[in-house]
Amino acid sequence: MTSGYRQTYDRWRADPQAFWAEAAREIAWIRPPQRIFDPEGGVYGRWFPDARCNACFNALDRHVEAGRGDQAALYYDSPVAATKRAITYRELLDETATLGAVLEDLGVAAGDPVLIYMPMIPEAIVAMLACARIGAVHSVVFGGFAAKELATRIDDAEPKVVLTASCGIEPGRIVEYKPLLDLAIGLARHKPATCVVYQRPQIEAVMNGARDRDWSELVSAAKAAGKRALCADLAATDPLYILYTSGTTGAPKGVVRDIGGYLVALKWSMSAIYDVKPGETFWTGSDIGWVVGHSYIVYGPLLHGCASVLYEGKPIGTPDAGAFWRVIQDYKVAAFFTAPTALRAVRKEDPQAKLLERYDISSLRTLFLAGERADPDTVAWAQKALGVPVVDHWWQTETGWPIVANPVGLGILPIKLGSPTVPMPGYEVRVVDEAARPLPAGTMGSIVIKLPLPPGCLPTLYRQDERMRESYLTEFPGYYKTADAGFIDEDGYLTILGRTDDIINVAGHRLSTGGMEEVVASHPDVAECAVLGIKDEIKGEQPCGFLVLKAGVNRPPEEIEKEVVKLVRDKIGPVAAFKMAIVVPRLPKTRSGKILRGTIKKIADQDPWATPATIEDPQALDEIAAVLEARAR
């Protein structure tokens, strides 16, 4: 079959507004858009400026009204809690409408931020949808962050209410959320009025006076009183959520998602990119704390009337490397989406994919990968083992849905290993030099997207229009800077080579080395430091800190290294996976004082390296090489 991609992309290019007007017909609007795009609105224009809608209505009520009430909306599968539960669209709607009423009773109104700090349990999705229902703006914080990171987000979002649970479950360890939340609120300037706590059976959280309310009690009381929240009538340009992501400094960026554009883009992507039909099962093995979870565990599949799998477990160890195949079999998953790192972990445990023999995964049509570079070796392994196309696609928290993909629903394009394929409608992707001049095919440069960004992408950063302009729109006038580098080949296929800023990608998690450096430098014995992402077989990259101690410090370096590792875990969280800190005599620098990060990284990665001409003292590189060599022994 020939792909309809080219024709579709050209149709978008010929008339973007007509393209999105047609896609918008798939959404149930309260007031359909009369205007499709307002170039004068917001930072770079706004989509669907006069339309009104509700995301929760489109995700739940609409399907129940259409007769899908008894179909599974969620399959909750938790090997770590030894629980499995199917939840129908009607049940999910009932729970959501009730929690929405609870939030309203707590004084939450449309436009109010609500912070959600919860593990991968159905109540977390109910929490997100309940906010969407009443027009509250949710901000989900990933459970692997430490109290200080949570405090930063509380201060930025200033939530009236926090929704949380007593704990998360990591293999071999219960992560108590409530003490972390209490600590974060203690650290934060802003004090939320109420915390609603869902008590999990694994551990009971200690409640803290009148501020803390028991989730189940509030929900039971609301049910007994027959309270249900109605879907709020909201502007398409109103915010649906804020999702914090690593910026180049310690202060995370609050990516804002507006309602209407997001609904239109996600709905389009479910059939055109992911090739799934309403009623089929879609599984994204990520976490609701990340954008991939927001878009393709929660909103995308539910908008489309799919059953979405909510998996609280790991690719390996819960109980083994066959976990993915079991879930695909048990819920007849049609499309599965995960990060390459998860496949690398599975492959390491089960290189011959022998565990696959135990399961029937014939329901699976496509495997999608994103979050980090999909190395050709892993893609080829998965393709051979699973016998289905393995589709890499590239996007960011900021865009909310794929920028570059292989649109399987339009007819799959030939797969080139190492490339996430071609730009989706809405995105005019260019590779440019420093002066924003397009570079010829095959030449590496900065990847930018011509403005305006399509529906679904961030309209701005939360309460920071100026930071939005500075971070993304100023360096390449007329374009959005992705901060990724790469090239486009003669066939229009893109290859991503890495970030142009200090962001690294550890096990598919986006982290700022600058943020880690701020923490490392705060250790009283550290004079200066550099944190770099170095190669890791499973996680892609792993942060490594190089520290120079202050003159006169004569404690054992190993002691300080351990303290620094603990400090990063305590301040940023276990998700930083910061386990390597190395004391070095000095950091190699250029004559103008810039740390030679690139060369240090090459040495640590055991890649070929040369002494840069601008180096202040070439000896400094040899010293680093010697320290690393001694460690490796």
Residue 7: count other Cβ atoms within 10 Å of its Cβ: 12
Place of tokens 């908008």: 303
Chain residues 139-158 in contact with ligand COA, contact rule CB under 6 A: 143-144
Q: Which does 486 bind (CB under 5 to 8 A by kind): ligand COA, ligand AMP, none?
A: none
Q: Cβ(529)–Cβ(548) under 8 Å?
A: yes
Residue whose CB is nearest to ligand COA in the complex, by number: 508
Shortest distance in whole angstroms from residue 495 CB to ligand AMP? 9
Task: Tell me if 253 contacts ligand COA by CB under 6 A.
Answer: no
Q: Which does 264 bind (CB under 5 to 8 A by kind): ligand COA, ligand AMP, none?
A: none
Do the strands 253-258 and 239-245 form a parallel or antiparallel pair, or are they unpaired?
antiparallel
Among 345, 390, 408, 530, binds ligand COA (CB under 6 A): 345
Q: Cβ(375)–Cβ(382) under 8 Å?
A: no
Chain residues 559-588 in contact with ligand COA, contact rule CB under 6 A: 574-575, 577
Residue 129: count other Cβ atoms within 10 Å of its Cβ: 25
- Whole-angstrom Cα Rg for the chain: 24
- The DSSP result for 140-151, as a single string, is E--TTS-HHHHH
Q: Which does 143 bind (CB under 5 to 8 A by kind): ligand COA, ligand AMP, none?
A: ligand COA
Q: How far apart are CA 22 and CA 331, in angstroms?
A: 33
User: Which string of x and - marks every residue 8-47 that binds ligand COA (by CB under 6 A)?
Assistant: ----------------------------------------
Q: How far apart are CA 142 and CA 153, in angstroms?
A: 11
User: Which string of x and - marks every residue 42-81 that binds ligand COA (by CB under 6 A)?
Assistant: ----------------------------------------
Residue 633: count other Cβ atoms within 10 Å of its Cβ: 4
Only segment of 131-139, 212-220, 319-327, 502-510 that touches ligand COA (CB under 6 A): 502-510
Task: Tell me if 288 contacts ligand COA by CB under 6 A.
Answer: no
Among 69, 159, 192, 315, binds ligand COA (CB under 6 A): 315
Q: Which does 339 bind (CB under 5 to 8 A by kind): ligand AMP, ligand COA, none?
A: ligand COA
Shortest distance in whole angstroms from residue 143 CB to ligand COA? 3
Shortest distance in whole angstroms from residue 540 CB to ligand AMP? 9
Q: Cβ(625)–Cβ(596) under 8 Å?
A: no
Strand ranges, E, within 307-459: 307-311, 333-338, 366-369, 390-392, 404-405, 422-423, 429-432, 445-450
165/342 with CB nearer ligand COA: 342
Helices (H), 25-108: 55-56, 62-63, 89-105
314/373 with CB nearer ligand COA: 314
As a whole number of Å, the end-to-end CA separation of the chain is 55
Pair of tokens at residue 319: 């109980």
Task: Tell me if 168 contacts ligand COA by CB under 6 A.
Answer: yes
33/322 with CB nearer ligand COA: 322
Task: Tell me if 245 contacts ligand COA by CB under 6 A.
Answer: no
Task: Tell me if 420 contacts ligand COA by CB under 6 A.
Answer: no
- Using DSSP, state whether 396 is helix, strand or coil: coil
Only segment of 340-348, 398-406, 583-591, 599-607 that touches ligand COA (CB under 6 A): 340-348
Pair of tokens at residue 89: 């669209």
Q: Is the dihedral of CA 214, 217, 218, 220 positive or negative?
A: positive
Query: Residues interacting with ligand AMP, by CB under 6 A?
Result: 245, 291, 370-374, 392-394, 396-397, 420, 484, 496, 499, 505, 510
Task: Tell me if 424 contacts ligand COA by CB under 6 A.
Answer: no
Q: How far apart are CA 492 and CA 448, in angstroms?
A: 15
188/370 with CB nearer ligand COA: 370
Residues 6+ apart with CB under 8 A from 596: 587, 588, 589, 590, 612, 615, 621
Task: Tell me if 543 contacts ligand COA by CB under 6 A.
Answer: no
Q: Which does 396 bind (CB under 5 to 8 A by kind): ligand AMP, ligand COA, none?
A: ligand AMP
Shortest distance in whole angstroms from residue 177 CB to ligand COA? 9
Beta bridge pairs of residue 76: 85, 310
505/542 with CB nearer ligand AMP: 505
Shortest distance in whole angstroms from residue 372 CB to ligand AMP? 5
Among left, alpha and beta (phi > 0; psi -120 to 50; other), residue 331 is: alpha
213/467 with CB nearer ligand AMP: 467
- Using DSSP, state whether 366 is helix, strand or coil: strand
Q: Cβ(548)–Cβ(435) under 8 Å?
A: no
300/588 with CB nearer ligand COA: 300
Pair of tokens at residue 186: 């203690």
Closest by CA to 154, choosing from 182, 175, 135, is: 182
Q: Which does 397 bind (CB under 5 to 8 A by kind): ligand COA, ligand AMP, none?
A: ligand AMP
Q: What size, in residues, is the chain?
A: 633
Closest by CA to 160, choosing from 112, 94, 97, is: 112
Among 38, 155, 170, 561, binds ligand COA (CB under 6 A): 170
Half-sphere exposure of 109 (CA within 13 A, CB side): 1
58/284 with CB nearer ligand COA: 284
Q: Which does 575 bind (CB under 5 to 8 A by kind): ligand COA, ligand AMP, none?
A: ligand COA
Task: Tell me if 403 contacts ligand COA by CB under 6 A.
Answer: no
Closest by CA to 489, choosing from 407, 419, 411, is: 419
Task: Tell me if 320 contacts ligand COA by CB under 6 A.
Answer: no
Q: Where do contacts with ligand COA occur on this chain (CB under 6 A)? A: 143-144, 168, 170, 175, 286-287, 290, 292, 314-316, 339, 341-342, 345, 370-371, 507-509, 538, 574-575, 577
